[in-house]
Structures are given as C-alpha cells and as structure tokens.
Amino acid sequence: MENSLPILIADRPEALIELCGVNLLERLLRILQRLGFRRAIVFSSTPEIVGADLAKRSWAREGLSVQLVSGAMTPLTVQLLLEQTGERFLIVPANIYCDARLLAALCANNSSAALVDSNPPEFAQSLIRNPCGPALITRDFLFTLSPTAPFLNELIRKIDHGKINVVDAAKQDDYIVAMRRHVRPLCFRVPLDQDCRLAERIILDSAQKGTLDLPAYVHAPIETALISLLCKTPITPNQITIAGLIIGCSATVAFVTGRVGLGTLAALIFGIVDGLDGKQSRVKVETTERGKWEHHLDYLIENSWWAAIAFQLWRSGQFPNAFYFLALLIGSHLLDEFAKRRAKMVEGRLLDDVTQFDRAFRLIAARRNVYVWILACGFLLRAFPQSYALICGWAAFSAAVHLLRSTWICHSGLRRLVDIRR
C-alpha cells in the first residue's frame, strides 16, 4: 500500500457526518491505517474546522501521519494533484462510507482504476451513486487530463469513454472467513440529514458474525441494540473486554464457592458481553493486534468455569467422578480444535461454515454458550451434576462429528488435487 499516497477531499459539514460514533473522515483515516498506510493528505476548503477535528487525539489512527492542505481551488483540480509528490494517488472523497476491501482492491491495481457498483443491493440502492468516488490514479494518467478542469468531472468522462479501468464492488469476493458469512462490500455517499439511520444499520449489520449457535441467535439482537448505544460513547473495546473479564472471573469464583445459580447467571451475562468488544471494534474501526488475543483469554476463562464446577461437584460429593469428565471435556476440545484446523487448511474457511450440514450442526454443537444453557436448565431442574456430565458427553460427541467431517473434507481435497494433477 505504501507506494500509493492517499488524498482525501474533506469539507465541512459532509466529511464530519457521524455514523455510529465516528465521523466519515476519521473512519476513512482509521481504515487507511489498517490497510498499511502511514501517511495521508487531506485537502479542505474549510481547513479551520476540519483541522480542529484532525487535531483531536485519536489512538485508533495514531500510526497515520495526516497533512492538512487548504484547498484554494474548489473543486479539486488535476493541477493541484500534479503538485503532490508520488507516482500513484488514492483519491477518496471524505463524505463517503467505504468498505476497506474496496480500497484494498483499488490499490491492488497496477494502473489507474475507479470504483463503481454495477449492481447495488436493494437495501442500499438509495445510497449508492456511480462512480462511487474513490479512484487510484497514476501521475501518467493525470497528464492525460485537462490540468484546470475539476478532477471528478475528468474522471467521469474517462469512465464514460472506457479510458480507465474500473473496480466493480458487485464483483468482489464478499465472503469473510473470520466472520463466517458473506458481507457485501459497499461504498456510498452519506446525505447530510436523510438516510443516516439506514447507513448506521448497514454498518451494525456488517459487524455481526454468521453461522451462529442457537444461544448466539438470541444474543445477537441484544448485542446489536447495546452496540448501537455504546458506539456513540467513548467506551473502547478494551474496556468492554476488561468488564467481560471481571464478569467471567466472578462466575469462576461463584462456581468454586458453590454459588451455582449466581455463577450460571454471570456466565449467561458473559455470553452477551463477550460479543460486544468485537462488534465495537469493527463498527468503530478500532481493531488492534492485541484484540486478536481476546479469544485466548475467553478460552482460559471458560475452562476455569468447567474446572471450578468439577472441583465443587467433587468436593460436595455430588459427582465423585467430576474430574474424569473434566478431562473428557478438555480432551474433546483439543480434538475438536485439531479437526477444525485440518479442515480450514483444505477449504480455506472454518469447518462450521463449509456445508449446509456443518452450519446446521453448529446450531447445537458443543460450545460455551450451549454448555451454559444446558447448565442453566440443569440448575433450574435441580439436576446440575447431571447437566455437567451431559455437556462433557456432548463435547465428546461434537468432537467426533467434527473429526469425521474433517477426515472426509481432507480426503475429498486430496482427491481433487490428484484429479487436477492428472
């Protein structure tokens, strides 16, 4: 990405429209940093107002150096672009929402290219206009344009005459492995007053992971409703993670001390809070490398629950063989992880989302949320020890199913490879 210089055209008030707690200019700058850029230029005919906004401390883009240039010429002209150093320019109007994948696709081109959307999805048709706005432009291409003409007019003329390549948002691969779902990449201009609510719904929906278990389908709308409020506060994803850590550890303490009902309630609350930090980071473009370790922390917390419950059941004499079942649970988890890794190496996606069967089995497969719901039912039915034995057995069954599916997938992949070589 570093061989391209991002140039954003940002004028008040359009560039400072807030969506989900982050204005459009700030959102684009955060995206550029996560794409690997370390420098950007912002042109503005309202430099005092835009400059005041850029001067605000933002840890989410602190690795990106931003230079503000007063736009004496409005609109942006070709001559002003030619005065900048560099051979490739990523031109982005700052009054748009743009998926990071589309900007990355533009930058992957060796020659000039403009972003269009030949088939806008129905839910976003009222927002999308062509061309979408962003374009990758080489210096050689700029020399073919009229130096005093508005750049956008010249770009549209080139697009209409087929004199520039296009990157079509409708033709981009929309599957995100980590999200386990298809998320249509979009780029659209945001009106001053109208349709902001629709734009925010689109952003919130894009942060929701797919192929969920049954409890997560209950959690998802609750999480989205909470994030729609939290995203407009200064609360960071790390602060939410810390809150979740406190709740999770509280559940462990409750289980160890025999307060099973309180521990189960804390575990149920943790199931919802655990989904908030990831959504907050995706909605506000506040993802960090440290955030990727949050899943490992979650794994330690939930395993502390199973160990604490086993200890309490053993100490109280309710389930003398509890530690044997704990070993079965942990061993099943390790086997399950092994099976999923093998399948991902072959298919390039998570085992839970390979086929319709895998997606259906994910609904009830052994996972923390499913375990907690089973334990909650066991507590209410006064059969808590039996519910613990059930989750351990269900973990073993789920691991066996995933191992069989992984073996089948790897065998099928090997056969495809042999057929290709023939």
Taking the C-alpha atoms of residue 349 and residue 347, their distance in angstroms, rounded to an integer, is 5
Domains of the chain are 5-189 (3.90.550.10), 207-421 (1.20.120.1760)
- According to DSSP, the residues that pair with 69 across neighbouring strands are 43
* DSSP secondary structure letter of residue 150: B
pLDDT given for residue 94 in this prediction: 92
Taking the C-alpha atoms of residue 339 and residue 354, their distance in angstroms, rounded to an integer, is 13
pLDDT at 418 over 60: no
pLDDT given for residue 126 in this prediction: 87
pLDDT given for residue 257 in this prediction: 95
Task: Identify the band that residue 409 occupies on the pLDDT scale cut at 50, 70 and 90.
Answer: very high
Mean pLDDT of 380-389: 96
Closest CA to 45 of 29, 23, 66, 69: 69
Residue pair 29/6 in contact (Cβ under 8 Å)? The answer is no
Q: What is the largest distance, in Å, between two alpha-carbon atoms of the chain?
A: 86
pLDDT at 102 over 60: yes
pLDDT at 121 over 90: yes
pLDDT at 85 over 90: no
3-state secondary structure of 77: strand
pLDDT given for residue 156 in this prediction: 87
pLDDT given for residue 100 in this prediction: 96
- Read off the pLDDT of residues 293-325 as tens digits, 9 standing for 90 and up: 777 888 999 999 999 999 999 999 999 999 999
pLDDT at 285 over 60: yes
Residue pair 83/136 in contact (Cβ under 8 Å)? The answer is no
pLDDT given for residue 338 in this prediction: 95
Q: What CA dihedral angle connects 254, 260, 266 and 272, to 10 degrees?
A: 140
- According to DSSP, the residues that pair with 168 across neighbouring strands are 116
- According to DSSP, the residues that pair with 8 across neighbouring strands are 42, 92
What is the enclosing helix (H) or strand (E) of 342? helix 322-347
Greater pLDDT, 230 or 78: 230
Greater pLDDT, 271 or 160: 271
Taking the C-alpha atoms of residue 244 and residue 266, their distance in angstroms, rounded to an integer, is 10
- Read off the pLDDT of residues 352-375 as tens digits, 9 standing for 90 and up: 999 999 999 999 999 999 999 999
13 prior amide bond cis, ω within 30: yes
Residue pair 252/304 in contact (Cβ under 8 Å)? The answer is yes
pLDDT given for residue 161 in this prediction: 85
- Read off the pLDDT of residues 241-256 as tens digits, 9 standing for 90 and up: 999 999 999 999 999 9
pLDDT given for residue 328 in this prediction: 97
Taking the C-alpha atoms of residue 92 and residue 72, their distance in angstroms, rounded to an integer, is 18
pLDDT given for residue 333 in this prediction: 96
pLDDT given for residue 420 in this prediction: 60
Task: Identify the band that residue 73 occupies on the pLDDT scale cut at 50, 70 and 90.
Answer: low
Task: Identify the band that residue 259 occupies on the pLDDT scale cut at 50, 70 and 90.
Answer: very high
Mean pLDDT of 267-286: 95
pLDDT at 190 over 90: no
pLDDT at 343 over 80: yes
User: Cα dihedral sign for 337, 343, 344, 346?
Assistant: positive
- Read off the pLDDT of residues 153-180 as tens digits, 9 standing for 90 and up: 888 888 888 889 999 999 999 999 989 9
pLDDT given for residue 162 in this prediction: 86
Residues 6 or more apart in contact with residue 211 via CB below 8 angstroms: 180, 181, 350, 352, 353, 359, 362
What is the percentage of the chain residues whose pLDDT exceeds 70? 95
Alpha carbon separation from 375 to 141, 326, 379 (Å, rounded)? 65, 14, 6
Mark residue 211 as left, alpha or beta (left: phi above 0; alpha: psi -120 to 50; beta: remaining). Answer: left
Task: Identify the band that residue 421 occupies on the pLDDT scale cut at 50, 70 and 90.
Answer: low
Task: Identify the band that residue 26 occupies on the pLDDT scale cut at 50, 70 and 90.
Answer: very high
Greater pLDDT, 130 or 183: 183
Residue pair 185/174 in contact (Cβ under 8 Å)? The answer is yes
Closest CA to 223 of 183, 176, 264, 281: 281
Assigned token pair, 191: 């009106």
Taking the C-alpha atoms of residue 259 and residue 1, their distance in angstroms, rounded to an integer, is 54
Closest CA to 77 of 137, 34, 131, 29: 137
Mean pLDDT of 134-152: 88
pLDDT given for residue 23 in this prediction: 95
Mean pLDDT of 282-302: 85
C-alpha 331, offset from chain centre: 30
Q: What amino acid is encoded at 349 in this protein?
A: R
pLDDT given for residue 414 in this prediction: 66
Taking the C-alpha atoms of residue 50 and residue 44, their distance in angstroms, rounded to an integer, is 7
Alpha carbon separation from 149 to 76, 196, 402 (Å, rounded)? 9, 32, 61
